[in-house]
Structure 1
Amino acid sequence: MTENNTLLVDVVDGVATLTLNRIEQKNALNLPMRSALNDAIHRIRHDRAIRAVVLRGAGNEFCSGGDVRGMTTRSAEEGRNAIDDLHGWVAALMDLDRPVIAAVDGVAYGAGFSLALAADFLIATPRARFCMPFIKIGLVPDCGALYTLPRALGLARAKDLVFTAREIGAEEAQRIGAVFEIAPAESVHARAVQIAQSLCQTSSVAFGLSKRALNLSLGSDLRTMLELESAAQGIAISTAFHAEAVQRFKDKQPPRFQWPAAQAAQDDRISKAS
């Protein structure tokens, strides 16, 4: 299924892969791509058959950020409206009650870095490069980065990347907490799909409730989180998934969900599917 020529959407075995598709522009986010992402993410929210999402870029790049060539001088109000338009789908992606995995190869600059940080897991290739270059063109980080970057890296490291606009590689990004795992370029998408398929075996209710609570935790207080914990556990404990898991434990059967997911190189079925 194709959203438009800037975004390709493919759904296989409950995993939706969203491929940014402007290869000659290093998959820079232009208005048609932003509109397509908005449509795709909001449809995924209402399609319970989709259990996980993978974000990737076409070719050898993830996303070079906003389409700077298409930027024009705007009034403060016009600039605000343009950013407000993308906040709907960015928030919907961050709040999605299903696993989101970003497979990053090549550049993840600006809004591309922000988009990758919106995922629950960021898998990168050794040649992946990350940068927050906004200050170089007199802008502030957008696409949710002011929320995600300090939470992923801590405030001091977030200030480092924002104020210096320096590029970091995959190893440093993993060391400071942005990257979950580094995988070879030829198998990074397969690895992301494999993790997605593994997480599809979790309780969708428990996963969604846990993700929502974790997203709220750093801006909340102990009493609020304990109340949220009680309400969420009351829902989770009543699910068929929990009942089956308890019975499997009593019967000494392996659980439906196990971690870690096997490496993609060891899984011929996943590797061939990629």
Structure 2
Amino acid sequence: MYDYETILCDVADDSVATLTLNRPASLNAISRLMADEMTDALARLAAEASLRVLILRGAGEAFCAGGDVRDMASQGTRSSTEALDSMARYRRMTLALHGFQRPVIAAVDGVAFGAGMSLVLLADLVLLSERARLCLVFQRVGLSPDCAALYTLPRLVGLQQAKALALSAREIGAIEAQAMGLALEVLPWQKLYERANQLATAVAKGSPAALSLTKQALDASLQSDLPTMLAMEAAAQAIALTSEDHRAAVRAFVRKEGNRYVWPARSD
């Protein structure tokens, strides 16, 4: 759909988009150009009124090996001010993905290391292949986690476990990641993208207003109190109740025509 050098961005049936990190020779490491292209692609997709769900994946047999260390080395010695300025592009990419108002499904095969794992943590639903490996590798190269990992990880696994993963730079496999709450499902690698598309197709049948409002409210919940969340729920329902998607679903219910929004069971 859009023409980029380091990513692929396709939209199927106007409702499901797939954003593929496309540097397989470097295990889809995030270069400066890739960060900029992802930010641009996410902004364009956000403007697509008919889009309802996004799949995030990597080309080849890896999701993402993290930041491109060779790209970092090519920049030479930098002052802390210059380094801070250079992080702005990665902050823009992170905010674009975190703030994406449609559900994001990450389909992860192979390595998701460093910033690659950070991207996984930003997704709403995570599917891992059995051969997926996750690691906050930053300590191995003398860096601190970025791309919001220090924000997302404690909220997913708890503070002590987050500290252990970040400080140890320990690699975890798919089953352990799922047990920690980092993944929804673990699948044979041959079934990974089929399952991601199956879930995306199911989600895409939902109301775009209800999907977006639900995601935004849940994202806000851990920083909010009960009165705030009750107010957000009421506002979301007031919007959703006026939508044609809600009226159509009610008509189908009354006529006993069945529910078109059905979560698909796994077949493997």
TM-score range, shorter chain: over 0.9
1:59 equivalent in structure 2: 60
Contact map agreement 2:32 2:71 (CA 8 A) in 1 = no
2:206 equivalent in structure 1: 202
2:114 equivalent in structure 1: 110
**Separation (CA, whole Å) in 1 of partners of 2:78 and 2:238:** 50
Point out where structure 1 has 5 or more consecutive residues left out of the alignment.
266-274
Distance 1:264 1:95, change over 3 A: farther
Kindly provide the amino acid, as one letter, of the partner of residue 87 in structure 2. Answer: I
Shift of 1:50: 2.1
Contact map agreement 1:110 1:141 (CA 8 A) in 2 = yes
2:182 equivalent in structure 1: 178
Between 1:8-17 and 1:204-213, the stretch displaced more is: 8-17
Between 1:200-209 and 1:67-76, the stretch displaced more is: 67-76
How many corresponding residue pairs? 264
Between 1:83-92 and 1:25-34, the stretch displaced more is: 83-92
Shift of 1:73: 3.0
Q: SS where residue 3 of structure 2 aligns?
A: strand
Q: Which residues of 2 match residues 121-270 of structure 1 at below 5 A? A: 121-259=125-263, 261-263=264-266
2:6 equivalent in structure 1: 6
Dislocated runs of 4+, deviation >3 Å: 262-265
Give the aligned CA root-mean-square deviation in angstroms: 1.4
Contact map agreement 1:131 1:165 (CA 8 A) in 2 = yes
Distance 1:264 1:38, change over 3 A: farther
Cα deviations by residue, 1:67-117 (Å, 9 ceiling, x for unpaired): 112214322222222222222232222222212111111000010001111
2:49 equivalent in structure 1: 48
> Are 1:15 and 2:19 matched, yes or no?
no
Between 1:201-210 and 1:73-82, the stretch displaced more is: 73-82
Contact map agreement 2:136 2:165 (CA 8 A) in 1 = yes
Contact map agreement 1:187 1:264 (CA 8 A) in 2 = no
Contact map agreement 2:36 2:89 (CA 8 A) in 1 = no
Contact map agreement 1:42 1:89 (CA 8 A) in 2 = no
**Separation (CA, whole Å) in 1 of partners of 2:233 and 2:78:** 45
Cα deviations by residue, 1:216-241 (Å, 9 ceiling, x for unpaired): 11111122111111111111111111
Between 1:180-189 and 1:78-87, the stretch displaced more is: 78-87
Contact map agreement 2:32 2:89 (CA 8 A) in 1 = no
Kindly provide the amino acid, as one letter, of the partner of residue 101 in structure 1. Answer: I
Shift of 1:11: 1.5
Q: SS where residue 161 of structure 1 aligns?
A: helix
- 1:94 pairs with 95, 98, 103, which one? 98
Contact map agreement 1:3 1:40 (CA 8 A) in 2 = no
Kindly provide the amino acid, as one letter, of the partner of residue 110 in structure 1. Answer: G
Between 1:2-11 and 1:40-49, the stretch displaced more is: 2-11
Q: SS where residue 3 of structure 1 aligns?
A: coil
Kindly provide the amino acid, as one letter, of the partner of residue 9 in structure 1. Answer: C
- Normalising by the residue count of structure 2, what TM-score does the alignment of the two structures yield? 0.94
Shift of 1:253: 2.2
**Separation (CA, whole Å) in 2 of partners of 1:19 and 1:227:** 37
Between 1:235-244 and 1:88-97, the stretch displaced more is: 88-97
> Are 1:24 and 2:28 matched, yes or no?
no
Contact map agreement 2:110 2:133 (CA 8 A) in 1 = yes
Q: SS where residue 254 of structure 1 aligns?
A: coil
Q: SS where residue 253 of structure 1 aligns?
A: coil
**Separation (CA, whole Å) in 1 of partners of 2:137 and 2:240:** 42
Contact map agreement 1:174 1:181 (CA 8 A) in 2 = yes
